[in-house]
Amino acid sequence: MSDNRIAVLVPGKIHPRVLERLGKQFAIVSVERDGGPKVDAETAARIRGVAVSGGFDATWIDAFPNVEVIANFGVGYDGIDVKHAASKGIVVTNTPDVLNDEVADTAIALLLNTLRQLPKAENWLREGRWVKEGAFPLSPFSMKGRRVGINGLGRIGLEIARRLEPFKVKIGYHTRSPRDSLPYDYYPTLKEMAQSVDTLISIVPKTPETHKVINAEILSALGPQGVFINVGRGWSVDDDALIAALGNGTLGAAGLDVFYDEPNVPAGYLSLPNVSLLPHVASASVPTRDAMADLVVDNVIEWFAKGQPVTPVPETPIKLRG
């Protein structure tokens, strides 16, 4: 018996909760990513929605002529050709806010790990070195007295700033324009901020303007007591410059949760003692990923039920149904 429900495409892998909830109301069409869209014309014509974790470019968009909504699993949606989607009247949604707290918490944890070398200290204990060799060496850095600059003060950046306040550090930020209601120091350029702080946390999205903005000049401005933390996009970092700065003492330490070509981490980082590395886990908890999955599904449901998604991206066209 044929399934007459609205068909929703799921290319590649996605959180199982998305599949579970969507499957109760929609006919799911799962396809592999490799080799581009491979769906017969009849099936392609049935598909009116997409739930995706990762890219969905113009080729994929054009392969499904009746798609109305593309629901992205994640805050960042640079892998989706939103301009092309908008030109065809297709709504694009993402999952903001539900992961703000988790990413902000991870940013603080990564900063503490980088400053105090807590993972290395735990390994020291587990390997029996505390008994055999004595106390773990003193950490070269401390949170106390730090001057922290946040590159990107959007929803997550603001949560990071609020979490930093109890640590009694001085907080500044760089964005395209100041936010006058906030008690933090504003820097009109990234370089000015790097020259004025000793800790730089980057939480900027992937855009042409943010490509490798963390370069040798910025790292040098932070200095040998400086610490760099990235929980935004690996796209924003010049890896060669960062590896060199960490290796020659231009920069004191770094903590990274994101990389330019994930999951491939440059080998140069792995041998450095002054970098803390995480495999892009900032939002990777069961409660947060469940909330992200629910928002993906809710966007699809609300679009087809009311013509109004929950969290459309700014570039997307919204046409309310009567």
Enumerate the active-site residues.
233, 262, 280
Find out whether 151 and 188 touch, Cβ atoms under 8 Å: no
Q: Tokens at residue 272, please?
A: 């450095």
Q: Give, as one character, the DSSP assignment of residue 307.
A: S
Give the burial class of 17: count Cβ atoms within 10 A of its Cβ; 0-12 exposed, 13-18 middle, 19 or more buried: middle
Contacts of 35 (CB under 8 A, 6+ apart): none
Spell out the SS3 assignment of 198-259.
CEEEECCCCCHHHCCCECHHHHHHHCCCCEEEECCCHHHECHHHHHHHHHHCCCCEEEECCC
Secondary structure class of 172 (helix, strand, coil): strand
Radius of gyration, alpha carbons of the chain: 22
